[in-house]
Structure 1
């Protein structure tokens, strides 16, 4: 059947857009940070990796090759904090912060009651290079739970949660010191402390756009310019966001992608545009509809506490990757897409998407040490 003139015009316009993947990116690897919590206080953390050249070297949209994840580092123990954050600083892998389980008297001595935690955030930072060598990094002043750990201008920022709402610190390697920064005006009792109502949305969500850090509680949002800290936190009018986030600079503006599982909506990633000066935000600019066979995001549970099983990561060349763990620990669906923001061609959608071949990532030995456990995906990044 021949194509109509209108359809041919759309195809010609779409072909104007350049789709390419920088071959230099293939030398890098995607790293995943995972946590497992055992029934009686044992915690295990794993760092896994897969090379991008392996991840994107398969052809065919419906082909789902299984790739074996390589274990970079694993450590476990009864005295490790729960709910660490993860990040990268100076090309080193960081795990840090967290909180301690609360131990109550039960049928066994020092048996922890899962889902209940001390309101005392941990301060330690675990630092590894890509060759699994560990080296010390000075402890945070106050510590926090599930912190965003991000490097900006060679400094390490740690923005996380505590029973009082939030904690914000910066590490300057020139002084080898942490210092406190003003907290964002988010004062709700956040996850994992808000556990009375398992359906409550009380949490804090983070994003990084250039040198700016964003935080939202799903009701209000604020941003902090690390290059001008005296300005403190400033509000983003009518722009709450909830879920896993990643921000990409497309050369014209910041593009914020947000994914949050829902039992009511068709699975999709929301897309928002933010101007470089933060004066203009186009909320819900578009969305990325996920494949029909996209796995349902069913969180695991630690007691009554839900554990996240998904994350977004930018892997370069305007390519965003969504990683979701399946019901079979630990197997991950990797859905990656390349995007272009439409500059005004009315014949094309606002966001032009090209899906890359999907992959299934498997680690077969991650849960062998802990027969009865609950798993959590802490995050992912590129190195």
Structure 2
């Protein structure tokens, strides 16, 4: 497994996609020197295309024999291509049925990733359970999830349920379902019990863990790991709880402007999680989730060196915010193409 932990800022470029009609191509047999050998079909939102398919990335991929072809959602998928690899991140039951049907009928194509596996991350309860079930040992640290409570209905009962569970304020409030909308990524902090009954289910409540105002975003691209530091909420103390009330929205910490890599930080807070821990965590999650492309939001409990919490997992995250993603993602696509040439027919192995 490769491990990379140097992160800086996002390069802003206007998107200019390169596409090619690749009928008759062959990734395993050489092909024409003027024709890409690996054809990647993609079905992405316009926002995702803009952030991901940057000119620097598509140019590098082209130079290594990879072309990107947009999938036309108004035409049957089976009539398009042929593709060697399909990348997709679209929501909705209809698309899931389309891509699953395509996977079944075209086992020779590597679809990244299975729609049912992606769906597992659409619910924060099932997402967290995967981490809770892990047993990481002998890897220089401990990984868990914050204490949490799922509320599906009856907002008036939330204060009672929180008290019964013995959870401590403040509580992080997250929508239970992650459907790709901006609203599903809105996070709040509830400071007092009276404000809890104003929350709108379905939602998940997590105990806020002091983490020194720093978040680690861990990007998984196949077997490659990259770590980004982001500023987060500062620690909360008893004084804060006595003077702050209500529900306050989190600032966004996922964008590149929140990068903390060039800041003068306390080394005890800024030190990256141990490499053995990240490698084992990534390997276990790839296997359990059945996914190749995802990231984790991880925090270190303030005052500790080796106690970490995974607070969120996202599918096909914003790789465009990670410097040098162009090389790592191109290598990932080439490794998929290589595995396709070596594997037996009708098998799409997930590299773990």
| Category of TM-score, reference length = shorter chain | under 0.3
Task: Specify which structure has the higher proportion of helix.
Answer: 2
TM-score (norm 1): 0.23
TM-score (norm 2): 0.25
